[in-house]
Homo-oligomer: A and B are copies of this chain.
Amino acid sequence: MTTQDDQLVDPDILDRVKGWRDYVEAKLGFRNHWYPVLLSDEVEEGKPVTAKLCGENLLLNRIDGEVHCIRDRCLHRGVKFSKKPECHTKATITCWYHGYTYRWADGKLTDVIAAPETRIVDGTRGVRSYIVEEAKGLVFVFLGDRDGNIPPLIDDVPPNFLDEDNYVLSQRQTVQSNWRHGVENGFDKTHIYIHRESLLIQENDLVLPLGFGASGEQSHELVDGEDGPRGVIEIYGPHVIPAFEGKIEGETVLKVPSDVTGKNLVPSTISMWMPCALKVDPWPDPKTTQFEWYVPIDETTHMYFQNLGTRAETDEEKRDFKREYNNRWAFYALEEFNGPDIWAREAAEEGYADDHQWVDEALFEADENIIVFRRLISKRNRGVQRPSDLRA
C-alpha cells in the first residue's frame, strides 16, 4: 500500500539502511502509540487548545473534567476549527465557516447550522477523534485508530512512571530538530562530554566522567517481552569504564576531578522506551528520576517533555518536592544541564537534514545501545506515520 510518493525519505537511502529501515523512514514518528501532547494544566474546562503530533493538527478540550481530542480540520473545506473555535453546546464544536458541528466525544457530525436538515448529516460522517488519557499531570493521546486493539497506556511509558507513589512535575518546550535526534541525544552514553563544565555537576556534589571506555562487556539490556513497555536499558556501574582524562595523541588535554568521596554517583541506569521516552534513574540526585519525551511534532520539530519524579505520598512531601523542583532542579537540571542537549539536537538536525547521514554516520562502540533501540523500534512499532495518514 505504500508508494514511493508516500515516503518522506528517499527510497535509495532506505534500501541502504541495514536493520532499522522503519526507524529511518519514521520522520513523522510511529502511529498507534501513546504520546504526551500537553500538560494537564494547559487544558482548561471548555477552552479548546491546539497541539500537533506526528504531523497531525489536534484540538483538545476538557468537558466535565474529561479531556477530548479531535482532528483540527473541518471535513467540508479543510479549514481549522481553531482559527475561531465556536462551542455553542458543551458537547460540540462548530466550524466557524458554515456551521458544521461535531461531537467532542467521538467526532461525529451532528448538524450544519447554516443548512438545517442537510442530508450530509447522516450519522456516518465525522472528523477523526483520538483517545485521551491523563496521567501524572500529562495529557496522553493515542495517535491511531479507535477501532482495533488499543494497548494500555502503561505499555508505552517507562517502567514505574505510572506507579501510584511516583509524584511527577513537568515542563515542555519545542525543539527545532526531528524527534530522533532527541531520542539519540538522550540515550547517548558518551555525549556527557558536552556536560563536562555543567554547574549542575559542580554545585550539587555530582561526579560525571568525560566519557566511557569500552569494557568489552555488554552494558545494555533489551526489554522486549510479550507486553510493553519495550525498551533498552543501559547499565552503568561495573559495565563501563569511566574516563576522567581526555587524551589526544597520548597527551592529556582534559582532566576532571575523579575523587568520588562524598559525591553522588548518579545515574545507575539510563533507558529508552518505545515510542520515545527516556528514563534516567536516579537523576539529578539519588532521590529523583528524570523522564523525558521527544514527541514528534512534524518532520523537523519535536516537543521536549522534561519530568522529574520522586517517591512522595503526603501533601507535605509533594510540597517539599515542588519547592526543590522550582528552586533547584528547574534551573540546574532542566535548563542549565539540558541546555547543551537542545542545541546538540539542533546541530544534528542540520547534519541529518538530507537523510544521507543515516547511511554515512560513523557510529562507534558506545553507540551500541542506540543501535539496539533502533532495531527494537523498527521491529516492534505499530506503524510508520506517513503523509497519507494525514489525509482524509
- Determine if A8 is an interface residue (Cβ-Cβ < 8 Å): no
Q: 1/0 contact trace for A60-80 toward B, CB 8 Å?
A: 000000000000011111111
- Determine if A101 is an interface residue (Cβ-Cβ < 8 Å): yes
Stretch at the interface among A140-148, A308-316, A351-359: A351-359
Stretch at the interface among A34-42, A205-213, A326-334: A205-213
Q: Are A97 and B249 in contact (CB under 8 A)?
A: no
Q: 1/0 contact trace for A132-146 toward B, CB 8 Å?
A: 000000000000000
Q: How far is the CA of A211 from the CA of B114 in the complex (A)?
A: 4
Chain B positions within 8 Å of A88 at CB level: 246, 248, 253-254
Stretch at the interface among A117-125, A155-163, A270-278, A284-292: A117-125
Q: Are A366 and B114 in contact (CB under 8 A)?
A: yes
Stretch at the interface among A168-176, A222-230, A342-350, A375-383: A342-350
Q: How far is the CA of A212 from the CA of B99 in the complex (A)?
A: 12
Chain B positions within 8 Å of A119 at CB level: 214, 364-365
Q: Are B391 and A94 in contact (CB under 8 A)?
A: no
Contacts A101-B248, A113-B248, A115-B214 hold; do A83 and B343 have CB atoms under 8 A apart?
yes
- Determine if A2 is an interface residue (Cβ-Cβ < 8 Å): no
Task: State the copy count for this chain.
Answer: 3
Minimum CB–CB distance for A342 against chain B, Å:
13
Minimum CB–CB distance for A107 against chain B, Å:
13
Chain B positions within 8 Å of A363 at CB level: 76
Task: Tell me which residues from 190 to 227 in chain A have a Cβ below 8 Å from any Cβ of chain B.
Answer: 190-194, 210-214
Minimum CB–CB distance for A240 against chain B, Å:
10
Select one of B5, B78, B118, B251 contacting A360, CB under 8 A.
Answer: B78
Minimum CB–CB distance for A46 against chain B, Å:
15
Task: Tell me which residues from 99 to 115 in chain A have a Cβ below 8 Å from any Cβ of chain B.
Answer: 99, 101, 110-115
Q: Are B193 and A76 in contact (CB under 8 A)?
A: no
Select one of B75, B78, B366 contacting A115, CB under 8 A.
Answer: B366
- Determine if A385 is an interface residue (Cβ-Cβ < 8 Å): no
Select one of B117, B194, B211, B351 contacting A116, CB under 8 A.
Answer: B211
- Determine if A319 is an interface residue (Cβ-Cβ < 8 Å): no
Q: Are B213 and A117 in contact (CB under 8 A)?
A: yes
Minimum CB–CB distance for A78 against chain B, Å:
3
Chain B positions within 8 Å of A112 at CB level: 190, 211, 364
Interface residues of A (CB under 8 A from B): 5, 10, 12, 73-80, 83, 88-89, 91-92, 94, 96-99, 101, 110-120, 125, 188, 190-194, 210-214, 243, 245-249, 251, 253-254, 343-344, 347-348, 350-352, 356-357, 360-366, 391-392
Given contacts A114-B192, A115-B214, 15 further A-B contacts (CB under 8 A): A5-B10, A5-B12, A78-B351, A80-B350, A88-B246, A99-B190, A113-B210, A114-B210, A114-B211, A114-B243, A114-B366, A115-B213, A115-B364, A125-B362, A356-B392
For the complex of A and B, 9 pairs with smallest distance between CB atoms = A78-B351, A114-B211, A360-B392, A88-B253, A114-B190, A75-B362, A113-B246, A114-B193, A120-B364
